[in-house]
Amino acid sequence: MRKNLMGEADASITVFLSLILTCICALMGGLFESVRTAGSGWYMQMALDSSLDSLMSKYHRDVWEQYRIFALEFDESGGLAAEMEPYLDSYFRDAPFYLVTDRNLTVSSPVLITDGGGRWFEKEILDYMKKGIWNVEYDAGILKETMDGVKEAESFGAIAEQYQECGRQLLKLEESIENIGESLERQKNYMEAGNRQLSNGNGTGFIKTAEKLKKELERIPQLVREYEEKAEELSREIRVAESGAAKKQEDLKPPNWELLSEEMESYRSYTDKEGSRHREVKQTEVTAERNKAVVEDAIRQAVEVQEYIDSWEPDDEDDELDEKRLWRRVLSVTGKFTYDSRFAGTGKKDRKKRKVLESLSRLAGSDLLSIVVPEGKKVSPDRIDKQQFPSVTEMSVTEMPGFTGYNGGAGNFLPETALLHEYAAGFYTNFLSEEERHVKYEQEYLLSGSASDRENLKNTVNQIIAIREAMNLMSLLKDPEKRREAELLAAAITGASGIAPLVSVTTFFILTVWALAESVEDVKALLEGGKVPFLKQGREWRVSLTGLAESGTALFRELGASGNEGEGLDYQSYLKLLFWLSGLPKKEYRMMDMIQKNIRTGQPSFLMRKCAYRLEAEYKGRGTVIPISKKAVKAY
């Protein structure tokens, strides 16, 4: 009985221990499988991250070596998945413990380097410039002062250009007044000559002279209409100029606005005085009409007298015809002729110099390359096909100037914008670069975006000339000696008399032309590799007003090469100043245009829109117990 009891006790312990061991093994197995399941997930994540890193490491080597930009070239997102799968397979092949079956990899549509209005391209540039080579700290205050200075110069120049056009219209108006005055002078001369002919009994000569006088009188209405048209055109131009100036006033510092305001006031004074002169011009038409009737009557009577004289036959040999008495009757008619001297005696005018200055004023905005490009250096005639360029295919209307950009916008962060400009200066060619590329003037293309090398250079040169013209005009307006020189020339051009503000208005016109001519000479120096101060002093001036008025554009050839001397900013520095005036997205897409163009030299199929900046991948599979899904995102 005891033995059975003891045997039963021993068996229960065995069973108990077996059950305990089974539970422990089950627990251990569950824990082990749980660990393997978790490990499979972590391993899958690691494999996905590493594989995506491996894929991203296949960035385009030429783009990196030439431009320090990471760009992953691809054909389609499915192709990216196919490139990643071998990396993932190798991970799971080397770790059979982490068993994952039914694996499926998906690479979603990548973020392209051309996406986001250029923000991703911009980010890569800034990352490289900040972490790669650029260690200069920019002072935001100095940068803002620079940007404001360039913007002020642009606005100052725009206002001056509008008033320069007013000056051209004003000179045309004065020319129409001169035409009326000359016509009145010819009328006077014809009438005086006709009276002398009548006094001498030369009736035939008088009739011919009177016919010429009549034709001259008939010209007056047309001359008056021409005057009125030019007066209206001037009035319209002044209104446009005043409106434009008001819009740009906030861009100008108070002292510079005051400089322009004084000149604008002279135009207002001129138009105020012009009202009374307009009435006088209209009166010449009335006087001409009355005089025409007098001349026609005189011609009629002269013809009658001449016919009478020609047909007269004396009754006897002693009869004599008193011809003088007959012609005095005609003289009594011509005595009713009114000599109109309203616009006579306006003084001797130097029309040649006026024509020269008018011609020079039209240089702004024209093709000046034949003048400013150094002798012996040819301008590239090449053109490019822009159809596949990112600026054409990828930049939408919403990505035009005004887009804020990456990280709040380099447009809002001046140091970042300055870094972009330094990058453009370091990686893209310009007119002075010796490196040969398909687009000869890349920085000029960034500013203008034309398919023509020549057009890009022309537009850039004109922009620099506009900036230089504004700064030169500021210098002239502050220089009493040069202003006095311009006033003397204005007096020579306009004559001794006329509307009181005419000399002041013409003086400002001359100053704008002088500033323009000096700016052309400045750009000549820049394209020769020289330097030009942003704001010139008197001793740094090269163009003389006397030589300019005498020689016109020939003066630029007479001055010859400017040399490489000088202090101030070089051509590259002026390009950087112009970069401040161009919109970021437009400029960045044009940078991508040039990258694509140059890479396609060795790889004709290369497209920036087929380059990824950021990839997102999802990897799904079934573990030993549950499904597993992991995502990874990588960006340069």
Supply the DSSP string of 520-541, one letter for each residue.
Answer: HHHHHHHHTT--B-SS--GGG-
CA distances from 82 to 89, 443, 633 (A): 11, 39, 17
Q: What is the pLDDT of residues 493-527, one digit of tens each?
A: 887 555 668 888 999 999 999 999 999 999 999 99
Q: Please name which of 76, 79, 67 lies closest in space to residue 125, comparing C-alpha atoms.
A: 67
Distance CA 170, CA 126 (A): 51
Helix, strand, coil percent values for the chain (each to nearest 5): 70, 5, 25
Going by DSSP bridges, is the β-strand pair 611-622/101-107 parallel, antiparallel, or unpaired? antiparallel
Residues 48 and 15 occupy one common structural domain: yes
Residues 336 and 450 occupy one common structural domain: no
Residues 440 and 569 occupy one common structural domain: yes
Residue ending a domain, choose from 345, 377, 396: 345
Distance CA 106, CA 48 (A): 11
Which residue type, as a one-letter code, is found at position 95? Answer: A
Buried-exposed string 533-542: b where 16+ CB fall within 10 A, e elsewhere: ebebeeeebe
Distance CA 399, CA 590 (A): 13
| Residue 609, in any domain of the structure | no
Q: Tell me which DSSP letter residue 452 carries.
A: B
| Residue 599, in any domain of the structure | no
For 603, what's the count of Cα atoms within 13 Å in the CB-facing half-sphere? 12
Residues 341 and 375 occupy one common structural domain: no
Going by DSSP bridges, is the β-strand pair 627-635/111-112 parallel, antiparallel, or unpaired? unpaired
Residues 551 and 627 occupy one common structural domain: no
- Specify burial of residue 97 (Cβ count, 10 A radius: 0-12, 13-18, 19+): exposed
Q: Please name which of 114, 77, 123 lies closest in space to residue 394, comparing C-alpha atoms.
A: 114
Please, which residues bridge with residue 199 across strands? none
Distance CA 299, CA 308 (A): 14
| Residue 591, in any domain of the structure | no
Residue 117 is encoded by which pair of tokens?
A: 């209005």
Which residue type, as a one-letter code, is found at position 117? Answer: G
Distance CA 632, CA 55 (A): 12
CA distances from 505 to 158, 270, 271, 592 (A): 18, 8, 11, 48
The whole-angstrom distance between residue 204's C-alpha and the CA centroid of its chain comes to 65
Residue 448 is encoded by which pair of tokens?
A: 């203008």
- pLDDT for res 401: 43
Residue 623, SS3 per DSSP: coil
| Residue 152, in any domain of the structure | no
Distance CA 70, CA 484 (A): 60
DSSP H helical ranges for 249-398 = 254-311, 323-334, 351-361, 369-372, 390-393
| Residue 141, in any domain of the structure | no
Residues 224 and 310 occupy one common structural domain: yes
CA distances from 4 to 12, 15, 17, 121, 380 (A): 12, 17, 20, 89, 115
| Residue 405, in any domain of the structure | no
Buried-exposed string 592-620: b where 16+ CB fall within 10 A, e elsewhere: bbbbbbbbeeeeeebbbebbbbbbbbebb
C-alpha dihedral (504, 505, 510, 511), degrees to nearest 10: 70
Residues 380 and 443 occupy one common structural domain: yes
| Phi, psi (deg, nearest 5) at residue 411 | -65, -25
Q: For tokens 């509008």, what's the residue? A: 162
Q: Please name which of 106, 105, 110, 43 lies closest in space to residue 610, comparing C-alpha atoms.
A: 110
Question: Rg for the chain (alpha carbons), in Å?
Answer: 43
Residues 436 and 538 occupy one common structural domain: yes
Distance CA 450, CA 371 (A): 21
N residues, the chain: 636
Residues 322 and 383 occupy one common structural domain: no
Entry pTM: 0.82
CA distances from 219 to 383, 440, 553 (A): 52, 56, 35
Residues 499 and 461 occupy one common structural domain: yes
Residues 27 and 175 occupy one common structural domain: no
Angle between helices 480-494 and 351-361 (to 10 degrees): 120
**350, 493 in Cβ contact below 8 A?**
yes
E-only strand ranges, 94-206:
101-107, 111-112
For 486, what's the count of Cα atoms within 13 Å in the CB-facing half-sphere? 23
- pLDDT for res 9: 53
| Residue 127, in any domain of the structure | no
| Residue 614, in any domain of the structure | no
- pLDDT for res 11: 75
The total number of structural domains that make up the chain? 3
**124, 70 in Cβ contact below 8 A?**
yes
Q: Tell me which DSSP letter residue 629 carries.
A: E
User: Which residues in the chain come in under a pLDDT of 50?
Assistant: 1-3, 5, 7, 397-411
- pLDDT for res 406: 42
**Could you list the residue range(s) of the whole structural domain that residue 250 is in?**
166-345
Distance CA 245, CA 161 (A): 11
Residue 327 is encoded by which pair of tokens?
A: 């012609």
Residues 476 and 568 occupy one common structural domain: yes
